[in-house]
Structure 1
Amino acid sequence: MAQRSSLAGPYQAPVLAVCFLACVATGLELSVNNHTADFSLSTMPGSLVSLSCLVQNSSQAEELLWYRGDGKVDLKDGNKVNVSNVCISPVTESDNGVTFTCKLARDNSVQVSVILDVEFLPQLSGEESLQIEEDKDVTLTCNTKSNPQAPTAWYKNNTTLTLQQNRYQVYQTSEVFQLSITKVQKSDNGTYTCMVKFPSEERRKDFHLIVEDKSPIFPTEAVIAAVVVVTLTVLFGIVARRDKIFKVW
């Protein structure tokens, strides 16, 4: 029994060491702006966003990495160990939905992510005049990209537009709001308004549609034939006149 006990002794130390390291690794974590779990950060275009990543529960120097989406952020040497900061300035609309992630260099599974929630209104204002011939098609397009998205509607002469079947079609994505009119008629004359309604305000753009008379259409073959006839008549006239002149002389 004594021998068995003496043989077991040397193998107990590594087991204890592994358990100790596992506990240390489990306690180590990162925080970004005091958040230890992934979070969303609301901001606005033109502002500055500062993100600070901090190593917690570690007794040694730990290198940190920052990622913007899948791309690695280039950090200066003094901004990598235990504490690392990144700034986004100025914030733009294109930053909306972008994820910034701080990771532990030696173990990328230890990480915290922040998603930017950039709130902005659509660039929708002013007016536009459109002249279109009768029986042709026309499309009115509004830039309605915004965050958050808001209800949209089309108006004609300040009244909610009634969509005529087979003539009016509405197409909408997260960025544009379109109204297409097939074979415009004189009755389509008027001011069309693209309206986006937010709780705090409304954004709009006016389109002044002017339907013009159709241009007269001439048969191409008839025009060519007429030109040929006139040309030949003139040539024959010149030839006949020249013969008379020669006879006089």
Structure 2
Amino acid sequence: MSLPARGFVVFLLSTQVVQGQDDWGVTFSSTEICAVKGSTVEIRCSFTYPSKVLFTTVEKTFWFTKKKGRERVDLKTDSEYRGRVEDLCQNNICTLRIRNLRESDSAEYKFRIIIQEGGSYTGSPGVTLSVTDPDLQLKVSRAYSDQAELKCQTSCHVPDNNSYIWYKNGEELRTGISYSRLVNFGSADIYSCALNGHENHRSPSVYAPKPPSVSVSPSAEIEEGSSVTLTCSSDANPAASYTWYKDETSYSSILNEEHQFVFSSMQASDSGQYFCTAENELGRRTSENVFIDVKYAPKPPSVSVSPSAEIEEGSSVTLTCSSDANPAATYTWYKDETSYSSILNEEPQLVFSSINSSDSGEYFCTAENELGRSTSENVFIDVKYKSPMIMNITRLVLVVLVLSPLLLVCLWMRKKKAVSSTTEANEPIETVELDPFSVYEDISDLNMVSPEQTEGPEEQEDLV
């Protein structure tokens, strides 16, 4: 059977449907057929008639449609079908062939038998034909890890011998006429297809996801406890599936697999970088990062004391107030107050360069930003007092420890000088050994000198 150059033939075989009584009957190959405009369709049936009538012969068979005002009109004589139909019958099998289908050809087609003995029979119900534009769709499936398979399909049956036209980025491909083809996964190319002779009715294009965008709602400043929705969207066909990640580049930690990621009550720990991926059978794309900055009031501040050991009067002491807050907190220091009326300092640190015993007491601080204020626990500073007598004794001990080696050197030099004077008087030179105990006795003598024996009051003050 030859086919039109730019058309195709449609005929469907299905479970046979038989209607008849008293040995009359018509069997249709299918009761419903869908065909594309401009194509060729074949409607086929077989028939029987009463065998008990001797020498029965078939006078006429024909196909007709139940259109308004055209009851039982042979299609071969119908002006709407003239030149487009063929009625072929052989061995009680008849085929109606309609070329260059039009939408107006959509109707119910019936087959009628007339015998010479005056009997007749019409098969009912007949065959319903639907003529439509080529409603082509490209079905995409992953055939391999690095390739995807495209199949050009239509809601109407299309014989396998029909030719297909493939398009890549809008340009016709001249390689192959198959209804399927393989393409590389991850390619940014756009594909579509059409039936030969129906180039104006291309399928919708298929393509990998475009780089997705991320939107944040509400778009205003985000406060702790508020509800926030992140939405990932990408142009893709087939439609993309979405996955959410946070602060990762290895895609190992999946947060959500929906196009929206909803925080019902935002927490400070939710701050960070978020991104999403969009993926279909043709490829995957990743969005830009979006930074979520959750604002919150200061957490209860903590107070640290440096040094943390026992605090003595005159030492340097630093109190530090710290709190987790966004935006950053400002700090205020107070002492022994609950009314916050006496401000000591408005810095994170309260520094005592030389602390006094009067500085002893309880200290606390507050941390505040535009979202709220929080107060620390009290910290007690206990400054140890030092009396003047203890301080003078301490100074005296330090002076003695520093001057003792110098005094030893001076006494040794005096004894050496005395020995040198003796040898100059032509006396026998004797070796003088320095008795360390005598040196210490001299030092004791020096320390035993009373204040009255000193040269003046200034030296006494120096000694003290």
Structure 2 length as normaliser, TM-score?
A: 0.31
In structure 2, how many angstroms separate the alpha carbons of the residues matched to 1:154 and 1:85? 45
Matches within 5 A, 1:43-192: 43-44=223-224, 53-71=231-249, 72-75=251-254, 80=257, 83-84=258-259, 92-96=267-271, 98-105=272-279, 106=283, 108=285, 110-111=287-288, 113-124=290-301, 132-157=311-336, 158-161=341-344, 177-192=348-363
Corresponding residue pairs, total: 190
Amino acid at match of 1:16: G
Cα displacement (A) at 1:121 = 2.2
Do the aligned residues in 1 keep the contact of 2:335 with 2:361 (CA within 8 Å)?
A: yes
Measured at CA, do residues 137 and 127 of structure 1 come closer, stay the same or move farther in structure 2, by a change above 3 Å? closer
In structure 2, how many angstroms separate the alpha carbons of the residues matched to 1:30 and 1:15? 21
In structure 1, how many angstroms separate the alpha carbons of the residues matched to 2:206 and 2:291? 25
In structure 2, how many angstroms separate the alpha carbons of the residues matched to 1:17 and 1:140? 75
Q: Once superposed, what is the RMSD of the aligned Cα atoms?
A: 5.0
Amino acid at match of 2:328: Q
Do the aligned residues in 2 keep the contact of 1:30 with 1:36 (CA within 8 Å)?
A: no
Q: Which residue of structure 1 lines up, in the alignment, with residue 380 of structure 2? A: 208
Measured at CA, do residues 49 and 213 of structure 1 come closer, stay the same or move farther in structure 2, by a change above 3 Å? same
Q: Which has the higher helix share?
A: 1
Q: Which runs of 5+ in 2 are unaligned?
A: 1-166, 173-187, 192-204, 402-464
Q: Percent identity?
A: 20
Measured at CA, do residues 54 and 146 of structure 1 come closer, stay the same or move farther in structure 2, by a change above 3 Å? closer
Q: Which residue of structure 1 lines up, in the alignment, with residue 138 of structure 2? A: none
1:160 partner SS: coil
Cα displacement (A) at 1:186 = 2.4
Do the aligned residues in 1 keep the contact of 2:223 with 2:296 (CA within 8 Å)?
A: yes
Amino acid at match of 2:382: I
Q: Which residue of structure 1 lines up, in the alignment, with residue 459 of structure 2? A: none
Structure 1 length as normaliser, TM-score?
A: 0.52
In structure 2, how many angstroms separate the alpha carbons of the residues matched to 1:41 and 1:197? 18
Measured at CA, do residues 21 and 36 of structure 1 come closer, stay the same or move farther in structure 2, by a change above 3 Å? farther
Q: Which residue of structure 2 lines up, in the alignment, with residue 8 of structure 1? A: none
In structure 2, how many angstroms separate the alpha carbons of the residues matched to 1:103 and 1:57? 12
Do the aligned residues in 2 keep the contact of 1:127 with 1:208 (CA within 8 Å)?
A: no
Amino acid at match of 2:330: P
Question: Bigger shift: 118-127 or 140-149?
Answer: 118-127
Larger Rg: 2
Question: Which structure is higher in RCO with an 8 Å CA cutoff and minimum separation 6?
Answer: 1
Question: Bigger shift: 119-128 or 61-70?
Answer: 119-128
Cα displacement (A) at 1:190 = 3.8
Measured at CA, do residues 190 and 180 of structure 1 come closer, stay the same or move farther in structure 2, by a change above 3 Å? same
Q: Which runs of 5+ in 1 are unaligned?
A: 1-12, 164-169, 171-176, 223-249
Which string of whole-angstrom CA distances, capped at 9 and with x for unpartnered residues, describes residues 73-92 of structure 1? 5349xx65xx3455669865
Q: Which residue of structure 1 lines up, in the alignment, with residue 367 of structure 2? A: 196
